Structure 1
Amino acid sequence: MTVIRTGTDLADVEDVIRGIATHGERYLARVFTVQERVDTGDDPERLAARFAGKEAVVKLLRPTRTDPVPLADVAVVLDEHGAPTVELAGAAAALAGTIGCGPIAISLSHERGLAVATAVALSER
């Protein structure tokens, strides 16, 4: 049976700014892919939107506590038209395959210090 999976997340831009200020490159490399950093120019508002996007995708995939999905395994990058798209790797890709998850559509927005993302996909489980 095909089901609709959704995930939504809200991120605070100040949290991203603090993460960068406190942990610098280590934080950026742990959370964001190289392409995400290129696409955003390391702008905290855009990074917060990517962070919310990653969290929304993880919520959509619904991993178990024993099989977590690292945020670095989910990338929210721009397609050739400048629209956000989702790329999965590692544990995220494996879990998506296990549940028969089709392509993930994502929407991002940021304003007044907050970023929000919603992810939607069809899945066989």
Structure 2
Amino acid sequence: MDDQQPLLFTPLVRQPGIEIPDWLFGPAGKAGLPAPLQAPQGVNIAVGIDIIEVDRVRKVFEKHGERFLKRVFTEQEVIQCRNKPARLAGRFAAKEAISKALGTGIHGVKWREMEVVQLRSGRPSVRLHGMAMLRAQQLGLSAFDVSIADLAHLSIAIAVGLQTSIEPHEQKDEDARG
């Protein structure tokens, strides 16, 4: 058993046929990895999680009010949160989690490009706009789901993006040439 090389998977969902940047693995690049990377197969997922203290959001909301709401939340989100700090914190955490699942962090997309709205059942739903939508398309993400838990002092959210289309572009091109 010890003479077999271990499998090394990468958590980075990416568009098929596009290499992972070498710099991502540190100074030695892919050459410094303990085992070769395995190509993803089947359904791939991109996951992000975030937790935030409700008091942090409450303090920012109290200090900046409408300016904070307009910078971070869409009109629909503001209506559904009804100025309740725990609900705002939950949406905030969900947006952070979505940005992590997109692999950009909050620097690659704008707050309002990630919209978390409740369905009639109360279940949160994700709508992506602008650069967030473009990034999801670049990754081949075909669905997003989010779950939020609001407590008195903390809000936590997890976001999961699904990539079900993993056929490499090169393969499609070769098939077309026949």
If the length of structure 2 is used for normalisation, what is the TM-score? Answer: 0.65
The corresponding residue for 1:83 is: 123
Q: Distance in 2 between matches of 1:81 and 1:17?
A: 26
Structure 1 residue 44 and structure 2 residue 81: aligned? no
CA spacing shift, 1:118–1:22, aligned 2, 3 Å: same
Flag as ranges the 4+ runs of structure 1 deviating above 3 A: none
Aligned with residue 160 of structure 2, among 114, 120, 125: 120
Task: Tell me the amino acid that sits aligned with residue 75 of structure 2.
Answer: V
1:83-116 CA deviation, whole Å, 9 max, x = no partner? 1010100110010111111211111001131000
Aligned with residue 3 of structure 1, among 44, 47, 58: 44
Aligned length: 124
The corresponding residue for 2:109 is: 69
User: Higher Cα Rg: structure 1 or 2?
Assistant: 2
Which one has the bigger strand percentage? Answer: 1
**Structure 2 residue runs without a partner (length 5+):** 1-40, 167-178
Aligned with residue 53 of structure 1, among 94, 105, 125: 94
What is the aligned-residue RMSD (CA, Å)?
Answer: 1.7
Query: How far is 1:20 from its partner?
Result: 1.2
1:6-60 CA deviation, whole Å, 9 max, x = no partner? 1100011111111112211111100011111111111100010000000000000
Taking the TM superposition and a 5 Å limit, the aligned residue runs for 1:28-39 are 28-39=69-80
Query: Once the two structures are aligned, what percentage of the paired residues are identical?
Result: 36
Task: Tell me the amino acid that sits aligned with residue 79 of structure 1.
Answer: L
Provide the secondary structure at the position in 1 that maps to 2:159: strand
Q: Distance in 2 between matches of 1:100 and 1:79?
A: 25
Bigger RCO (CA 8 Å, 6+ sep): 1
CA spacing shift, 1:99–1:46, aligned 2, 3 Å: same
Query: How far is 1:64 from its partner?
Result: 7.2
If the length of structure 1 is used for normalisation, what is the TM-score? Answer: 0.91
Structure 1 residue 102 and structure 2 residue 142: aligned? yes
CA spacing shift, 1:114–1:95, aligned 2, 3 Å: same
CA spacing shift, 1:23–1:64, aligned 2, 3 Å: closer
